[in-house]
Structure 1
């Protein structure tokens, strides 16, 4: 799986610029990483998060305090990149740090590009010997993340709808596309570069016109030569402009899209399952809103993966944190706080969590594209869809 030529060969040319650009990432809680050989320095870790604010809150308000309580002496800080706006700069920074054998400043990376940097050989190799928690994770989930990616939670994108105005929701993608055109202004999705739920809808439409073999290649490798096969899918997406909310308004982020549904401004939208369940629990989503899954093809889902940068000098602490995240207590926090699907065997968890997720077959969710391919989707969508 290692394909280091894709990024490493360019590192010398981009390293200086990458180190500057990476400074664009928002810091939250301060970076507590740093060099040093003292015991206290080795226990100061930094997690880089490229996600929405609910995942930032999960780490800062719940996971980190619980880990620090269970492991006295450890301190964990966060660097947060909202919606992954600077993902490629961060990839460049990690690449440069690996080539130059310098501290990247991050000890754990929680981002959609983990499979990309894993394939490039930038992550520490993990197995059940150095990461004991992996023994409780089904092999299919570990394999799906590529070599060295560490699954720690999972979710899927679902179709949320207003039961008062949509008594019978669409069952297939074709049904959904027909519903959108039959109900102008009542559907939208967030721009794919601003969140995974809108990105899932876009890639699902693109996949409608691809063979199963081409889909698999795009999920597991970077194959830009296949991207011309997206033309029909992008044409379909562009044809929806007159029918989406306010004739082509695409929300910025998963939360904005869900807010439009909760406030009654639209009747249907793709959303993350964990955000939906959490919104129901805290009252942000009214009782008349429900969700379903479509087929042919289904909306995407799967595990979220962590990576431990090979260049980090705090390997022992990073492995300790990663393995702790796969304990029943940490998995229960994730399930309770953000309704994330557990990635360890359910029989390790409390009965209420087993009941809540008994129908979540996370080993067989439809995966999203390879990280580099996702970046191309985002760019091409911006060029071909809005205002067309």
Structure 2
């Protein structure tokens, strides 16, 4: 459970980051760039392999672009989730506590909910305010209203939708209430992953809580939304208990799949007909041919929780000005198209202005015109803990 709590705090956060694994993709300066005079900006990231590949693909394009490669050279340091090395927050905390400056922690790529985990081990002013006037392409960003604070610049969105088998489900649920009723009407054909192992399961539970709370709650880490709204929390977990016997079963017992991939495996092999899923994971698997073409994505109302992944600059970074130039490139239309083509990352810019897209029809079907954005800080941990205490034992 502790592993997921870390992941949930970082979007699926605070996974291990080893220096020995960090050079997952060093790139060379483009021909013509004076390497001795061009600063190197290192982006530190973590998560799934697809995230690493997308960050690296944009870094390679940056380093080949003469409009940018004379200002900075980008290197990616990354660890894929599931390693057991020292976590990124721990490494940042160690550097901070040792009084280090001018480190290669130039840019931290993370889900913004993971910021609190890092600040808890460093200081409230560990990340510097970012001057967006020095990032011309920030004007391209369409989700400015969702951004919490001035230390975070988003570069991709993440969204969960309802993934379903269109061969067996002709009319998928369009609302949360319709979904809950569908689960009861179709016992054994729905699953969500253990929230302590995957963000799609966490989202399913979290949405059940926040659908009952004022809209402002989803943008606040204030624990009053938990302590002063116990009835709403109780109702949501009562709903989870009510749905429990209607979920996917093996050997006569309800099973909560491990990780996001676990529930998608059940959907791909048609052991279930429906599950909440990250859009980019479904599309990536369809592109690889491991997910049947019959699997479709459906948004529901109110929408499942979404999030933004972005960049922060620590005050221990060695070249903050060069970092701003790199962030500017990641917000360009060219870079946003690369992110989509590499991992089907939801763009944070006007998608009508993107060119040379693979599966542009998929983007049109899953485009986030609006993002039901959640930023609830440490409350995430309490959701996971309560589910583990009240719902998980029902499967034993």
Sort the TM-score into its range (normalised by shorter chain).
0.7 to 0.9
User: Do structure 1's residue 371 and structure 2's residue 373 form an aligned pair?
Assistant: no
User: Do structure 1's residue 157 and structure 2's residue 150 form an aligned pair?
Assistant: no
Q: CA offsets, 1:108-143, max 9 Å, x none?
A: 2222235536893322222332322212213x4365
Task: Give the structure 1 partner of residue 334 of structure 2.
Answer: 329
Matches within 5 A, 1:266-345: 266-295=272-301, 297-345=302-350
Superposition deviation, residue 102 in structure 1 = 2.1
> How many residue pairs are counted as aligned between the two chains?
355
Where in structure 1 are there 5+ consecutive unaligned residues? 1-21, 34-38
Is the partner of 1:159 in helix, strand or coil? strand
Task: Give the structure 1 partner of residue 78 of structure 2.
Answer: 79
Superposition deviation, residue 383 in structure 1 = 2.0
Return the match for 2:144 from 126, 141, 153: 141
Give the whole-Å Cα distance in 2 for the aligned partners of 1:58 and 1:32. 11
Aligned CA distance change for structure 1 residues 124 and 362 (closer, same or farther; 3 Å): farther
Superposition deviation, residue 236 in structure 1 = 1.7
Q: Which moved more, 1:342-351 or 1:154-163?
A: 342-351
Matches within 5 A, 1:343-382: 343-350=348-355, 357=363, 362=368, 364-382=370-388
User: Do structure 1's residue 124 and structure 2's residue 120 form an aligned pair?
Assistant: no
Q: Which moved more, 1:148-157 or 1:126-135?
A: 126-135
Contact 2:24 2:78 in 1 (8 A): yes
Task: Give the structure 2 partner of residue 64 of structure 1.
Answer: 59
Task: Give the structure 2 partner of residue 235 of structure 1.
Answer: 238
Is the partner of 1:376 in helix, strand or coil? helix
Give the whole-Å Cα distance in 2 for the aligned partners of 1:32 and 1:53. 12
Richer in helix (by share):
1
Q: TM-score, normalised by structure 1?
A: 0.79
Task: Give the structure 2 partner of residue 219 of structure 1.
Answer: 219
Is the partner of 2:132 in helix, strand or coil? coil
Matches within 5 A, 1:240-255: 240-246=243-249, 247-255=253-261
Aligned CA distance change for structure 1 residues 251 and 145 (closer, same or farther; 3 Å): farther
Aligned CA distance change for structure 1 residues 347 and 292 (closer, same or farther; 3 Å): closer
Aligned CA distance change for structure 1 residues 287 and 325 (closer, same or farther; 3 Å): same
Moved over 6 A (4+): 83-87
Q: TM-score, normalised by structure 2?
A: 0.77
Q: Which moved more, 1:315-324 or 1:342-351?
A: 342-351
Superposition deviation, residue 161 in structure 1 = 0.7
